[in-house]
Amino acid sequence: MTVLLAIVVGGLYASGLFLMLRRSIVKLAFGLVLLGHGTNLLILTAAGVVRGRPPLIPKGEGAFHAPPADPVAQALILTAIVISFAVVAFAVVLLHRVHRTMGSDDIDSLESTRP
Amino acid sequence: MKVLLVLPVLVPLTTAALSLLSFRRAARQRALGLIGSVLQLAVGVALLRAVHRGGIQSTQLGGWPAPYGITFVVDLFSALMVLLSGVIAVATSLYSLSDIDRERREHGFYPLMHALLMGTNGVFVTGDLFNLYVWFEVTLIASFVLLVLGNERPQMQGAIKYVAMNLISSALFLTGLGVLYGSVHALNMADLSLKLPSLAPPIRFTLAMIFLVAFGIKAAVFPLFFWLPDSYHTPPVTVTALFAGLLTKVGVYALVRSFTLLFVSDGEATHALLLGIAAFTMAVGVLGAVSHREVRRILAFHSVSQVGYMVMGLGLFTLSSLSGAIFFVLHHAIIKSNLFLISGIMRSGGKDARLDLQGGLLARSPGLSACFLVTALSLAGMPPLSGFWAKLILVRSGLDVGSRGAAAVVATSLAVGLVTLISMTKIWNEAFWKPAPAGADLAPRESGARRSALLYLPVVLLTALGVTLGMAPEPLLAVVRRAAAQLADPTDYVRAVLGEGRP
């Protein structure tokens, strides 16, 4: 499971970076989204994947049985997802404005108007 | 829970919320913004007093004990930074009264500005690495919107680079956090500083490099700085001054914090790398400044160059070099914000701050010229101004280290100081000294004595503050030395956060 997740994380990072290196602003946004998802999955994987063992102490007992799932990693990812929603929402609005102002989604068209 | 430690975040938050509530009432928003900034300055003073007298303070939000709950911790370095952000806030608020146009005000300039201040203060007071990320994002989102507010074409061009680079930096930071949490299962910085030395060196070094790149992008060090000069000259001057005073400092703060508290075990390798980065940052930044002919671009490139000095102080990693770095951060934030504010007044004499369109400012406004001259000389490090002391401490501690690398960095820093002077002379010659070019549009942008008095007031205040720092550096130096001692030996920090029971 961990190996599979690691491969998925690597794939997400690679495709995110690939998209960001293209010249299109829209692909830049998609690259950022993929990179964000890759990072979230990486936190989950790095903290240790545990299946079907919630971090709850069974009724009438004083301690955990087996190592439970790590709630902190999930809390971190939850926060990161909320933040990345806000950032992506801003990025999409910005792209829209840039597209309206420039009339193109090519990043190089930004450079051509520099003094 | 000590309320004083939460106030640096609470005051801007309240200000932002109240200004949002009075969204359509410009006068009330302006007053609120100014009151909020002054209160924040007061909080900074109170915090510095408390930490100066009572040592490092910490508080646990929600009452959870240290490594589990969210910690706010303020040592002298943090307190100085909070105080600094208060100073910059007051200066930019005053300036914004007449610099920010109606459209920007109506689109929420004041709530955003205070959200930005809340984010930077949060960065300074938090004692938890994940919270540092969250505050970074608060700062970032506010700065994104401030950067594009007004919707002008050049702003868009700068914004794309700024947004993309900072989002990459955030993703890297989060990646580092994930790996860090996976390997030591701790996020509290004091806890981490105890647990990291036992981590396998290769993983620790990898983590150090990830954080170096992530914070390096925010601090605008070589070779990750190019978003800065492209975005700093486009928004209104108030925003640029705020960014120059605080945003890169946030990156430098994070670098200093992580490389004094967390990643010190591989000192040789990481700090040698930091020294190399510092030298290149100084040199490349100042060369960029020499090659440009627009005031705000020159100043933006100088910002890059000066970040090099701060990183140099961190890279040398001695007691005196750390105090030099802290002094440099304080000096530079004041001086650079002031220079940007002055560039705004210069520009209001014409449409553009391109140097070939400027001229004759010395005759038209001798007061402004005097302020600029003093501040520019301070930036270049002329004695007896504040820049001189900052550089003197750094150079001396570099010579004390005595290694070949340190000597090379010291030589670079001296040469860069000279080139800085040359490029500031260029602005002086072109904009102030030479007669105004024929046909230049020199009519003031805004008429009315009250408005221009409001532009001049923060400039005069900041210049006076800069001169005071230069003429009487000793009280501040004493505080800075103690702050550096706290950074160099994190035992007190760890004890303040984790309680007496721990080492």
pLDDT tens, position by position, A28-76: 889 989 999 999 999 999 888 888 788 888 788 877 777 788 888 888 9
CB contacts of A72 in chain B (<8 Å) are 181, 185, 187
Of B140, B159, B170, the CB nearest to A94: B159
Residues 6 or more apart whose Cβ sits within 8 Å of residue B409 = B275, B278, B279, B312, B315, B316, B398
Mean pLDDT, residues B372-391 taken together: 87
Q: Is B256 on the interface with A (CB under 8 A)?
A: no
Write out residues 185-214 of B within 8 Å (CB-CB) of A.
185, 187
Query: Which of these, B343, B421, B415, lies nearest to B380 by C-alpha position?
Result: B421
Contact B160 A114 (CB under 8 A): no
Q: Is A103 on the interface with B (CB under 8 A)?
A: no
Provide φ and ψ at B443, rounded to 5°: -65, 135
Q: How many residues does chain A have?
A: 115
DSSP conformation class of B381:
T
- Start-to-end CA span in chain A (Å): 53
Res B234 pLDDT > 50: yes
Q: What is the full DSSP assignment across B223-262?
A: TS-THHHHHTTSS-HHHHHHIIIIIHHHHHHHHHHIIIII
pLDDT number for residue B352: 54
Distance separating alpha carbons of residues B221 and B164, to the nearest angstrom: 16
Q: State mean pLDDT over B303-315.
A: 91
CA distance B168 to A91: 13
Q: How far is A27 from chain B (nearest CA, A)?
A: 12
- Indicate the residue of B175, B182, B294 with minimum beta-carbon distance to A39: B175
Nearest CA in chain B to A45: B182
In the beta sheet, which residues pair with residue B59? B72
The pLDDT of residue B297 is 86
Q: Which residues of chain A lie closer than 8 angstroms to B354, CB-CB?
A: 115
Please judge whether A46 and B178 are an interchain contact, meaning their C-beta atoms are less than 8 angstroms apart.
yes
- Interchain proximity A90–B175, CB inside 8 Å: no
Sequence-ordered strand ranges (E) for B26-106: 57-61, 70-74
Neighbours of A31 (CB within 10 A): 23
- Helix (H/G/I), strand (E/B), else coil: A106: strand
Signed CA dihedral, A22, A23, A27, A33: sign only: positive
d(CA B41, CA B22): 23
Other C-beta atoms closer than 10 Å to the C-beta of B89 total 31
Tokens of B425: 């002379």
* B159–chain A Cβ distance below 8 A for any pair: yes
- Residue B450: other Cβ atoms inside 10 A: 8
Q: What are phi and psi of B188, to 5 degrees?
A: -65, 130
CA B298, CA B290: separation in Å to the nearest integer? 7
B163 touches chain A (CB under 8 A): yes
For range B129-141, the mean pLDDT: 92
Tell me the average pLDDT across B191-207.
88
Whether B454 has its CB under 8 Å from any CB of chain A: the answer is no
Q: Which residue in chain A is spatially nearest to B129 when comparing CA positions?
A: A76
Which of B125-134, B158-167, B429-438 is modeled with the greatest confidence? B125-134
Looking at the complex, report in whole angstroms how far the Cα of residue B140 sits from the nearest Cα belonging to chain A.
9
Please, which residues 48-77 of chain A have a Cβ atom closer than 8 Å to chain B?
Answer: 48, 70, 72-73, 76
Task: State percent of chain A over pLDDT 70.
Answer: 93
* E strand or H helix that includes residue A76: helix A71-102
**Which tops the pLDDT comparison, B444 or B449?**
B449
Which residues does chain A have within 8 Å of residue B134's beta carbon, measured at their own beta carbons?
A: 79, 83
Q: Which residues, in sequence order, are bridge partners of residue A106?
A: A24
| Residue B220 near residue B304, CB atoms below 8 Å | yes
Judge: B134–A79 Cβ closer than 8 Å, yes or no.
yes
- Interface contact flag, B163 A101, Cβ < 8 Å: no
B352: number of Cβ within 10 Å = 15
Coil vs helix vs strand at A54: coil
Instruction: List, for residues B425-436, the tens digit of each pLDDT value.
Output: 888 888 888 777
User: A60 CA to chain B: closest CA distance, Å?
Assistant: 25
d(CA B393, CA B405) in angstroms, rounded, equals: 17
Q: Does A5 touch chain B (CB under 8 A)?
A: no
CA B457 to chain centre: 21
* Cross-chain CB nearest to A42 (options B130, B160, B175): B175
- The minimal CB distance from A47 to the residues B140, B151, B181 is found for B181
